[in-house]
Chain A
Amino acid sequence: MLGSLFVDALQFIPDHAQLLLDKTVETAELAFTALGISLLIALPVGLWLGHRHRGLFFALGVSSIGRALPSIAIIGVLIAWLGVGFWNVTVALVVLGVPPILTNTYFAVEGVDRDVVEAARGMGLTELQILRRVELPLGLPLILAGVKIAAIFVIATATIAGIAGGGGLGEVISNQPTYGLAGVLAASLCVSALALLTNGLLALAQRAAYHRMAPTA
Chain B
Amino acid sequence: MTGFRVADGGGPVIPNFGHGTACLRNNGWFCPEWVRDHWGDILQPALVQHIELTLIAVSVGFAISFLLALVGFRWRLLDPPLGAFTDVLYTIPSIALFQLLVPLTGLTVTTIEIALVSYTFFVLYRNMVAGLRGVPAEVLESARGMGLTRLQTFFRVELPLAAPAILAGVRVAVVATISVATVAAFVIYYGLGGPIFDALQQPDIFRTELVAAGGLAILLALTADGLLALLQRAVTPWNRVR
Q: Which residues of A contact B (CB under 8 A)?
A: 1-2, 5, 64-65, 67-73, 76-77, 79-80, 84-85, 152, 155-157, 159-160, 162-165, 169-170, 173-176, 181, 184-185, 187-188, 191-192, 195-196, 199
Identify B100's interface contact among A69, A184, A191, CB under 8 A. Answer: A184
Contact partners of B217 in chain A: CB under 8 A: 68, 70, 73
Please determine whether B99 and A160 come into contact, CB atoms closer than 8 angstroms.
no
Interface size of B as a range: 35 or more
Please determine whether A1 and B103 come into contact, CB atoms closer than 8 angstroms.
yes
Please determine whether B176 and A67 come into contact, CB atoms closer than 8 angstroms.
yes
Contact partners of A85 in chain B: CB under 8 A: 3
* Bound complex: CA A85 to CA B4 (Å): 11
Verify if B193 is at the interface (C-beta below 8 Å from A). Answer: yes
Query: Assuming A70-B182, A184-B96, what are 10 further A-B pairs, CB within 8 angstroms?
Result: A72-B197, A73-B213, A77-B210, A79-B205, A152-B91, A156-B90, A156-B93, A173-B99, A176-B7, A185-B100
Please determine whether A196 and B182 come into contact, CB atoms closer than 8 angstroms.
no
Contact partners of A199 in chain B: CB under 8 A: 87, 91
Please determine whether A192 and B92 come into contact, CB atoms closer than 8 angstroms.
yes
- Report the nearest A residue to B126, measured CB to CB: A149
- Report the nearest B residue to A193, measured CB to CB: B91
Known contacts A2-B104, A77-B211, A174-B5; A69/B218 CB under 8 A: yes
Verify if B121 is at the interface (C-beta below 8 Å from A). Answer: no
* Bound complex: CA A117 to CA B144 (Å): 35
What string of 1s and 0s marks CB contacts (under 8 Å) between B85-126 and chain A? 001101111111101100110000000000000000010000
Known contacts A76-B199, A174-B186; A165/B3 CB under 8 A: yes
Q: How far is the CB of B63 from chain A (nearest CB, A)?
A: 23
* Bound complex: CA A4 to CA B70 (Å): 35
Q: Which residues of B contact A (CB under 8 A)?
A: 2-7, 87-88, 90-97, 99-100, 103-104, 122, 172, 175-176, 178-179, 182-183, 186, 192-193, 196-197, 199-200, 205, 207, 210-211, 213-214, 217-218, 221-222, 225
* Bound complex: CA A31 to CA B27 (Å): 32
Please determine whether B96 and A191 come into contact, CB atoms closer than 8 angstroms.
yes
Q: How far is the CB of A76 from chain B (nearest CB, A)?
A: 5
Please determine whether B179 and A191 come into contact, CB atoms closer than 8 angstroms.
no
Known contacts A163-B5, A181-B99; A72/B88 CB under 8 A: no
Identify A68's interface contact among B178, B186, B197, CB under 8 A. Answer: B178
* Bound complex: CA A188 to CA B92 (Å): 6
Please determine whether A72 and B200 come into contact, CB atoms closer than 8 angstroms.
yes
Contact partners of B103 in chain A: CB under 8 A: 1-2, 5, 181
Contact partners of A80 in chain B: CB under 8 A: 205, 207
Known contacts A77-B211, A192-B88; A162/B95 CB under 8 A: yes
Q: Which 8 A-B pairs have the closest CB atoms?
A: A73-B214, A68-B221, A165-B3, A188-B96, A195-B91, A159-B93, A84-B3, A192-B91
Contact partners of A191 in chain B: CB under 8 A: 91-93, 96
Contact partners of B183 in chain A: CB under 8 A: 70-72, 160
Contact partners of B93 in chain A: CB under 8 A: 156-157, 159-160, 169-170, 173, 188, 191
* Bound complex: CA A184 to CA B186 (Å): 14
Please determine whether A152 and B90 come into contact, CB atoms closer than 8 angstroms.
yes
- Report the nearest B residue to A79, measured CB to CB: B205
Contact partners of B7 in chain A: CB under 8 A: 176
Please determine whether A70 and B196 come into contact, CB atoms closer than 8 angstroms.
yes
* Bound complex: CA A73 to CA B199 (Å): 10
Instruction: Report which residue of B6, B90, B178 has the largest number of chain A beta carbons within 10 angstroms of its beta carbon.
Output: B90
Please determine whether B88 and A76 come into contact, CB atoms closer than 8 angstroms.
no
Please determine whether A65 and B222 come into contact, CB atoms closer than 8 angstroms.
yes
- Report the nearest A residue to B104, measured CB to CB: A2
Identify B99's interface contact among A2, A64, A176, CB under 8 A. Answer: A176
